[in-house]
Amino acid sequence: MPVYEYRCNLCGIRQSRLVFSWTPADAISCTGCDGVDLTRLVSGFSFHRSWGDSLNWMPDNAAADLDDSHIGSIDSHMGRMGEAMSGRVTPDFHEHRHEITNPDP
Ligand SMILES: [Zn+2]
């Protein structure tokens, strides 16, 4: 969500604005004084989660019932992991899952 927080360098008020990558910087004007001298603040709105972060983000007990010597257990664990990430898994997730749960004889 391209929402950024700005502080006006002229009147000092903070404001959140919806900004797209194609929005020219001088198209953003202050809601208070109409000035265009705004500084973008580091915002909590931008949100990026990598595969590694997802693993860290998962609750500690997420793998409590994982028996890694049992393929069915790994498979259901990976299924829950995918669900916990709302299906936003990396493209190779299903590939890895398939490899793990279908080892070569
Ligand atoms: Zn202002």
CA distance 30 to 38: 7
Structure tokens at 61: 């007990």
Alpha-helix residue ranges (DSSP H) falling in 1-105: 51-57, 71-84, 93-101
Task: Please tell me the pTM assigned to this model.
Answer: 0.38
Q: How high is the pLDDT of residue 79?
A: 78
Name which residue leads in pLDDT, 3 or 37: 37
Give the Å distance between the CA of 2 and the centre of ligand 1: 21
Give the Å distance between the CA of 60 and the centre of ligand 1: 46
- Per-residue b or e along 49-75, where b marks 16 or more CB atoms closer than 10 Å to that residue's CB: eeeeeeeeeeeeeeeeeeeeeeeeebe
- The whole-number average pLDDT for the span 46-55 is 46
Q: How high is the pLDDT of residue 25?
A: 66
Poorest-pLDDT segment among 36-50, 56-70, 77-91: 56-70
Give the Å distance between the CA of 95 and the centre of ligand 1: 52
Axis crossing angle, helix 71-84 with helix 93-101, rounded to the nearest 10: 160
Domain limits, the chain: 3-41, 51-101
Q: What whole-number percentage of the chain has pLDDT above 70?
A: 69
